[in-house]
Amino acid sequence: MTIFGNLRGLFTSDMAIDLGTANTLIYVKGKGIVLSEPSVVAYHVKDGVKKVLAVGEDAKLMLGRTPGSIEAIRPMREGVIADFDTAEEMIKHFIRKVHKRSTFSKPKIIVCVPHGATPVEKRAIRQSVLSAGARRAGLIAEPIAAAIGAGMPITDPTGNMVVDIGGGTTEVAVLSLGDIVYARSVRVGGDRMDEAIISYLRRQQNLLVGETTAERIKTSIGTARMPDDGRGTSMQVRGRDLLNGVPKEIEVTQAQVAEALAEPVQQICEAVMTALETTPPDLAADIVDRGVMLTGGGSLLGDLDLALREQTGLAISVADEPLNCVALGTGKALEYEKQLRHAIDYDS
């Protein structure tokens, strides 16, 4: 029996993919998360023919630093596919990376999609996964995957609220009995925060910085609330001086970053407030007891839980592994498919 089990393990390679705007994570059945890389593809363009140079980590290093013949792009925008061919190449590359040997059977793949994705966007994701070599492609709503990954008891007849802040979208959802009671997808996330930092520095400091620098500022000293001392910690930032066109280094403080991020943070708070106002009263009572769970990379922004607590008056907690929640939840949906089959959509 063990030998048979091992043999079957060689043939089956079912996986769950968290196809994110910023990062792609792959969960293989029985093994857990085996890959986590940026959703970036670098191309070499010669005579109009594109040839993939690098995918993931290597390609991310090229963002904003490429010569004319090389293009580094992110095929995902706001949680959905913006560049169909590139996304397909990226998925193929990651699947090959996970399965170094050639498998005898095509894997069954479950992918998470934002709740607000249109049928066309869903079809594009499904088609990309099938073209990349999947036997069958299932879709699961991101809020359900995030709640499962955060360990919330979503199959119970009680209200659970999850706020998943990704790179492109923020999903706010109230779940009960294993399905969505209310969900709203706002197109604001980590990318919008980076853009807010870039435009703030351009406006206030006449300094032009790239996406990579803006992301570094956000992850190093980013905060959702004004520091108590009105300044907070600071860091040195390099960019191009817009007045005389030469490279320049300036000091950026936490207070400036909080000011820059005020608008995207406010949009997230408003989405949570709207969800609470629309929730049926009995479920709202459960949420008062249980509080709100934050997942996704955006939830790592400093003091975001406090900013939300001040707005809503509810207990706000951040999941243990916010970056991996959606991938873990999608993986669990794959492992416990029978119990969660109502949440997985296999139809085209």
Q: Which residues are annotated as a binding site for ATP?
A: 21-23, 167-169, 215-218, 297-300
- Are 115 and 143 a contacting pair, CB within 8 Å? yes
- Token representation of residue 156: 């119970």
Structure-token pair, residue 315: 């207990």
Closest CA to 167 of 96, 274, 279, 82: 82
Under 8 Å between Cβ of 78 and 192: no
Number of Cβ atoms within 10 Å of the Cβ of 310: 13
Q: Is 78 left (phi over 0), alpha (psi -120 to 50) or beta?
A: left
**Whether 226 contacts 255, CB under 8 Å:** yes
Rg (CA), the chain: 21
Q: How far is CA 4 from the centre of its chain?
A: 38
Tokens of 230: 């009105």
The residue with tokens 């209200």 is 159
Judge contact between 186 and 172, C-beta under 8 A. Answer: yes
Give, in degrees to the nearest 5, the angle at Cα 198 between 193 and 201.
125
Binding-site positions read: 21-23, 167-169, 215-218, 297-300
Q: Please give the structure tokens belonging to residue 121.
A: 């966007």
Three-state DSSP class for residue 257: helix
Dihedral of alpha carbons 111, 116, 120, 121, sign: negative
User: Distance between CA 297 and CA 12 in Å, rounded?
Assistant: 31
**Ramachandran class of 178: left when φ > 0, alpha when ψ lies in -120 to 50, beta otherwise:** left
Phi, psi for 337 (deg, rounded to 5) = -60, -35
